[in-house]
Amino acid sequence: MGRKYFGTDGIRGPVGQFPITPEFVLKLGWAAGKAFARHEGKCRILIGKDTRISGYMFESALQAGLSAAGADVLLLGPMPTPAVAYLTRTFHADAGIVISASHNPHEDNGIKFFSGRGTKLPDEIELKIEELLDAPMSVVASHELGKASRINDAAGRYIEFCKSSVPTSTNLSGLKLVVDCAHGATYKIAPSVFRELGAEVIAIGNQPDGLNINSGVGSTHMGEIQRAVLEHRADMGIAFDGDGDRVLMVDHLGNVVDGDELMFVIATDLQERGLLSGGVVGTLMSNLALELALKARQIPFVRAKVGDRYVMAEMLERNWVLGGENSGHIVCAQHATTGDAIIAALQVIRALRRTGRSLAEECQTLQKCPQVLINVRFSGGHDPVADPAVMAACDAVTERMAGRGRVLLRKSGTEPVVRVMVEGDDAARVREYAEEIAKVVSDVCA
């Protein structure tokens, strides 16, 4: 059954444009309160947010809607998305809500939900919320209104949780890290985690003003952290996105290390310690080199559709403990129920400390195939991916590559763009083919 409001990762869009308006979010809070209500009509829901300025507005709207439905609210303030998943579990809440547009600029915002177990919502709950959104809004009796309170030690609880994902004997003294928080939700927590474990931390992107989230820094803008790693002669850099569920890294030479490479490091470490249950789940965007490198180590690899919910579903079905995307969204299921950037970074560092090798050395085995990704913006109801001209262009490129590469087109689930990806063994031709297809997509979108 198709969804009217929910996308692959909650509800997202430009602030002030439907559905990302105060009126809609008020109703969404009410609908969520009704959908999660237990048999006695009450429920308890956590709300966390990233640092974008519109979070204040939407936090208030959600709180009002939830209270009108009779739901009690626990406010976390600025908090990484995986922290909300964790705290929802530990407070035995019925659900957690995150106000965030992840890696998008401050002009966008969104609402995403976690179940009481800290996992993505089951389809039936999303559909129930959508059904209630189209129903008239009502308010419970005055004595049944929900109450709101603030959790003042939320950050400390989550910091300890992150540290618990590595042995208590872990000591990062002598390690110099550049940590880029994207002026987002990790701006206090991430530097604290690594400092408390003994590392020397140079923090950048840690001065949020409500408008600078993901602006020129973070995992979608790696130039700043590359420069900082070289300038400070750091051992590595760690770059988060605005809500702290994605991580990319930079080695001591200034090279970007993406999610595929980080998963390879983690998978290799787990295998050598006898803790890799099954294999690794990647996506259609995962570089072919990851699949080949894992195969060489007899580690099974499967591809899910792009999106963390699809990665998680595949992991759960196979009972595997590691999966993720090349964008840096990595799920370490032995520690967390969702993608957690800080925990993933800690697993990489733990692997490096065990082997004594640098991040650059660990990634040498993975010789990535040239891959070009071009985003083409579109609007309206026309589906450019299904356009005959676009399909013909993709078929033509695939034929010319003669089995030495692949083409993937997909619409983003989080923003109005078509992602054109071409991968092959010749970097120049891969770029040429990607630009050729992107031009056709752009033409049909014009």
Q: Which two tokens stand for residue 17?
A: 């444009």
Query: Between the CA of residue 300 and those of 100, 173, 215, what are the distances in Å?
Result: 34, 35, 38
11-14 and 108-115 beta bridge pairing? antiparallel
Which one-letter DSSP state was computed for residue 40? T
The residues facing 424 across adjacent strands are 405
Token couple for 261: 């490479």
Left if phi > 0, otherwise alpha if psi is -120 to 50, otherwise beta: which for 420?
beta
CB 46 within 8 A of CB 121: no
Write down the catalytic residue from 54, 100, 102, 286: 102
By CB neighbour count within 10 A (0-12 exposed, 13-18 middle, 19+ buried), where does 424 fall? Answer: buried
CA distance 199 to 192: 10
Pairing of strands 280-283, 322-324: parallel
Residue written as token pair 């105060």:
22
Catalytic residue list contains 102? yes
Look up tokens 């890290």; give the residue. Answer: 177
The secondary structure of residue 264, as a DSSP letter, is: H
Continuous H helices in 319-419: 341-355, 359-362, 388-401
Give phi and psi for 11, each to the nearest 5. Answer: -120, 125
State the residue for tokens 């080695």. 251
Return d(Cα 263, Cα 267) in angstroms, integer: 6
Residue with tokens 């998305």: 81
Enumerate the active-site residues. 102
